Each structure stands twice: as C-alpha cells, then as structure tokens.
Structure 1
Amino acid sequence: MTAIDYAAVLERDRKGAKLPRRPFPKWFRETGWRHLIGIAVLLFAIFPLVYVFSASLNPGGTLLTANALFSNVSFESYFALFQDPNYPYAAWWTNTLIVGLATSVGTVFLCALAAYAFSRMRFTGRRFGLLTLLLVQMFPQLLAFVAIFLLMSAISDVFPALGLNSLIGLIMVYLGGALGVNTYLMYGFFNTVPKEIDEAAKIDGAGHARIFFTIILRLVAPILAVIGLLSFIGTFGEFVIASVILIDPEKQTLAVGLFQFVSNAQSKNWSVFAAGAVLAAILPMALFLSLQRFIVGGLTAGSVK
C-alpha cells in the first residue's frame, strides 16, 4: 500500500466510511482457518471441565447418569462434602494448603540460593553441579517411593514429627526433590541481571547476603512467581508420595482424600468426588490467572541465556 492509498484509507475512516469486506474464500484462506482450529481446541479442552461440573451437580452418584449435561441440577454433593465426619474435606483442604504453601516457599528460597551461587560465584565443580541437577531431575520421586517409605519409616522411630503420617515429613520429601529444573530456570534468569549491579553494591560495602536479599530478589520477581506457582500446583495435586506417607484421614491431602470416594467398590460416589474436585480447582486456577503475566515474562527471559 502506497502513502497515497494509506492516506485515502485514513480519510475514509475519519469520515466514517466502511472498508470493503474481504471475500469469504480469501478471509478463510488467510485467517479464518485459524479461528476454526482455535475453537476446536477450546472445545476439546473445556469439555472435560464442563462434564465434571455437570457430574458434581447430578446427585445420582455415577458418571453414567451425567451423560446428559445438566439434566439434574442439585447442590447436594457440595453439602455432603462437609457433613460426613469420615471424610473431613475441610481438613484435607487445609492440609493441602499448608503443604502447598510451605513447599512453594521453601522451593523458591532453596532454588534462589542455588541459582545465585551458580550464577554469581565461580568455584570448582560448578558446571558439573549444574549438569548433575538436570540428570537427577530425570528420575522423579515416583520411582523412589519404596525407598522414601522405608526412609520415613526409619525416621519415625527417632523423630515421629518428621516421619510417616506427618505433614512436615511430606514437606521435607517434596523439598528434597525441589532442585533441578527449577534451579536451572532461575539460573538462566539470574544471568540476565547485569553483574555491574553486584559490583556497584560491593564497592559500597555490601556482601553476598545483602546483595541477594535486597537487590537480586527484587529484580528476579517474575521467575520467583513462576517457580512458586509451579511448585504449588505440583504439590496441590500430587497423589503417590502423599498416599505413601499420610495415613490418618485427618492428615491427608485433597488428592489422597478424594480418592476414598471412588476407591470403595460398594460405596462409590462420583458426584461427591466431582464436587470436591471442582472446589479444589478454584484456588490453583485463581493463582494461575493472577500470576499469568509473570509466567510468560519469567520463562521467556530465563531462556535467553
């Protein structure tokens, strides 16, 4: 488009004239097919959510009766979550919140310390340490749940508060596997912070601790939010390790507790299970939406170097 044509278009827009529509074949060939793919992907992703929400409103207790979406609407399942003392949903939710917050805060702190050391300090074994963190992360905790159970059982004989059937013990297990990819992501983001800031602070007499807590942490807030959110969501829905360590119903988390609604063949109640899942998803979804702007900035900036 030449300058004269562009000026003519601006003049028509100023006078309120409408631009001619593109023919449908041309519109579909250029941009329309993208809208169709986006709508199809959106429907594919949202249908399970709608189905679970419909099942939570169906008091029938089975998923088969929920085939007709929203055929029956009742909030009995939501009230039933808080009425049966054998299934303390409120305690499960509180335990999950405690474990998730403690694990996310501990993960952010430990990974930030490790990333700062790898980014700002030069020492023997630095590169080997970074590679080791990545290699160890390739083997998830799921492969070691037998060893974790035996270890926690032995710790229970000496320190019961850190062993089996303990929220603190579960948090310690989660923190034991917190390093790895999280540290590597932070390491990449820390490298984007100019080292001249550290040098200027050192000239003024600041040490590593003061530089880390008063300067660096403020500049790397996006990646801290990303790591904290990912850690919280990961522990919020974790099932295998929590089911191995937590035994008493009052100390179980949501993932372990909700499984009891569908684990017994004689008393399966999918409606209550779906209601509990819907309520459990509210907090992670709210956190994800509120921290969404940090996720994009934190991950992209940390992948530059």
Structure 2
Amino acid sequence: MALNSNPLTSQPAPALAEALADDKRGAAAAQKSAPAPRRPFGRWFRETGWRHIIGIVMLLFCAFPLAYVLSASLNPGGTLLTANSLFSTFDLGAYVRLFENPSQPYGAWFVNTLVIGLATAFGTVLLGALAAYAFSRMRFTGRRFGLLTLLLVQMFPQLLAFVAIFLLMSAIADIFPALGLNSQLGLIMVYLGGALGVNTYLMYGFFNTVPASIDEAAKIDGAGHARIFFTIILRLVAPILAVVGLLSFLATTNDFVIASVVLSDPDKQTLAVGLYQFVSQETARNWSVFAAGAVLAAVIPVALFLALQRFIVGGLTAGSVK
C-alpha cells in the first residue's frame, strides 16, 4: 500500500515522461540564466588579452600619422614643427589657400586624378577579366607559358622602365601627339600597359572557382563566348573585379614618378605630382597647405574602400586558392 500511495508511480507513463522533461528544461534554463564564472586575469591574458593589447597598439600606430597630418592641415604656421601639439589650433585657412593660386590649380589636379584613376581602373578590370577568362576557359598552345610569362614580367616594377617610357613617349609624340608626352591619354595607356600580370593571375584563380558547367549549359542554349562572358561570368566574379579595380585606382593615384615624367603642364598633372610643388621650393614650403591637400586627396580612396569593403576579403581569398 505504501508503494501504491506514491504520486509518481500512480501517474500514467506519458504524464511521468512529460514531467521529467519539464524538470530537465527548467534546469537547463536555470543553468543558462546563471552568470558564467569569470576567468582569472592570468588565464584571460594568456588566451585573449594579449591579442587585444596588440590590436590597440597597432591601431594607435596606424592612426598617429593620420591624426598628425590632419592636425598639420589645421595649423596656420605652415611648418611641421608647429604642428607637434596635436589640434592645438583650428584654422581652415590652408584649405582655402588650396584653391586661390591659379599657378597651382588644385581643383584641376583633383579632377585629373579622378578621371585618370577611374579610366585606368576600368581598363585594367576589362583587360584583366578578358585575359583571365581566356586562360581559364580556353585551351590553346602556349597557355601555361603565357601565364608564367605574365607573372615573371610583372616581377619587375614599371618604375625601372621610366627612362624607356620617356623615350618611347617622346618618339610617339612626333607621330601621334595625343598619345605622346604631356598627354593624359598617353599616361592612361602607359598604366594599362602594366595592368596585366598579377591582376590577370589573380582573376584567373577566381575564374577557376566558377563551375564550367554554367558555360556548357549556356552553350547548349546557343550562347557564345562573348555573351557568356558579359552576361553570366562578370556577374559571378564581381568580388574580384571590385578588388582589382580598387587596387588599380590606388596605384594610379599614388604614382609619382611615371606621372611626373609623362605630364609637364600644371593643368594636366595629377595630385601626387601637383602637391609636390607646395614643398619642393626651399624658401616657399607650406606644409599646412600640403597636408590639407593630402587630406582632401584621401577622401575618394577612403570612400571607394568603404563602398567595396564587402568584396575585398572574398575576392582576395577566393582568387588565391587556385
């Protein structure tokens, strides 16, 4: 009789199982709601703390030059020594003086840099994508040799050939003045001449990640290589196109030697060449105006980087595994 009076044994089997399940769920919920025990400081530092410290140090190391240049642009002294006290003064006169001197047309330099950079980036992406598609999808004699040649040639920087580029552009100017010296179109052609190589090899790796069955299905429907490339493949490889375009734009806007060799007219020069005029003269150096120009020149690259940030990691990693 004592066993039969037990409330647990008197319940039906399904009800007993449901009660036990409720007890387990309640215990699990209580365990989740309970605060996790804090790790000792020594264990936290060994596991993750040192990484946070290194990250903070690197952030300060990278941010200091940017803060110093911004502080120098707001300092009316005109020298870097007076800008040692960060943001001790606040004056926008340097930004105004950028656009006051007709012999140093900063606005024209900014527009020239934007036009040359975007045109070079577009041409680089188009030429690199066409070459990468050919190497990835077509089989022809000399395919592997061509890939290795592009990679080996790109190992030598274009800077080593600036004397040959000057002589070549000088000779071309006698026949086609629009493509010779002091021509923005000629400078774009020089940049596009060095666009292949690493960019093609990087795109080639990304193109290999796109299944060839897509091309075969399109061919069955009657599509040719041009239609497959422009309507299907380019949409699938958008991340690597964004990465190559961004890198090409940054390389073009930061170039000084080639641009200074090809362009001589101040109205046609780029920002990298034009800004040098503010600090090139021994008795007329104005670092505040130079810093202000550098701050404004960084707006477009930073905006492009933020706009294309979601493509960068995927584009670089996917193209590097093939």
In structure 2, what is the equivalent of residue 291 of structure 1?
A: 308
- For 1:53 and 1:82, the matched residues in 2 are separated by 18
In structure 2, what is the equivalent of residue 250 of structure 1?
A: 267
Return the match for 1:35 from 24, 45, 52: 52
In structure 1, what is the equivalent of residue 4 of structure 2?
A: none
In structure 1, what is the equivalent of residue 172 of structure 2?
A: 155
Mark the CA change 1:72 to 1:6 in structure 2 (over 3 Å): closer, same or farther. farther
Q: Counterparts of 1:120-269 in structure 2 under 5 Å?
A: 120-269=137-286
1:13: Cα distance to partner?
A: 4.1
Give the number of aligned pairs.
300
Q: What is the TM-score with the length of structure 2 in the denominator? A: 0.90
Q: Secondary structure at the match of 1:173?
A: helix
- For 2:288 and 2:28, the matched residues in 1 are separated by 58
1:6: Cα distance to partner?
A: 11
Q: Counterparts of 1:64-79 in structure 2 under 5 Å?
A: 64-79=81-96
Can you list the C-alpha shifts for 1:151-197, whole angstroms capped at 9, x where unaligned? 11111111111111111000000000000000000000000011111
Amino acid across the alignment from 2:275 = L
Can you list the C-alpha shifts for 1:257-295, whole angstroms capped at 9, x where unaligned? 000000010100001000000000011011111111101
Q: Secondary structure at the match of 2:116?
A: helix
Q: Looking at CA atoms only, which structure, 1 or 2, has the larger radius of gyration?
A: 2
Q: Secondary structure at the match of 2:206?
A: helix
Return the match for 1:277 from 294, 297, 317: 294
1:304: Cα distance to partner?
A: 2.1
- For 2:160 and 2:194, the matched residues in 1 are separated by 12
Q: Indicate yes or no: 2:70 matched with 1:53.
A: yes
Amino acid across the alignment from 1:129 = G
User: Structure 2: where are the runs of 5+ without partners?
Assistant: 1-23
Mark the CA change 1:134 to 1:8 in structure 2 (over 3 Å): closer, same or farther. farther
Can you list the C-alpha shifts for 1:75-110, whole angstroms capped at 9, x where unaligned? 000011011111100000000000000000000000
- For 1:7 and 1:297, the matched residues in 2 are separated by 43
In structure 2, what is the equivalent of residue 19 of structure 1?
A: 36
Q: Secondary structure at the match of 2:275?
A: helix
Q: Secondary structure at the match of 1:73?
A: coil
Mark the CA change 1:246 to 1:6 in structure 2 (over 3 Å): closer, same or farther. farther
In structure 2, what is the equivalent of residue 109 of structure 1?
A: 126
Amino acid across the alignment from 1:135 = L
- For 2:26 and 2:148, the matched residues in 1 are separated by 58
1:19: Cα distance to partner?
A: 2.6
1:204: Cα distance to partner?
A: 1.1
Can you list the C-alpha shifts for 1:108-166, whole angstroms capped at 9, x where unaligned? 00000100000000000000000000000011110000000011111111111111111
- For 1:176 and 1:46, the matched residues in 2 are separated by 35
Q: Indicate yes or no: 2:109 matched with 1:92.
A: yes
Moved over 3 A (4+): 5-10
The alignment-based identity, stated in percent, is 78
1:256: Cα distance to partner?
A: 0.1
Amino acid across the alignment from 2:216 = E
Mark the CA change 1:167 to 1:29 in structure 2 (over 3 Å): closer, same or farther. same
- For 1:267 and 1:37, the matched residues in 2 are separated by 41
In structure 1, what is the equivalent of residue 100 of structure 2?
A: 83
- For 2:45 and 2:171, the matched residues in 1 are separated by 66
Q: Secondary structure at the match of 2:123?
A: helix
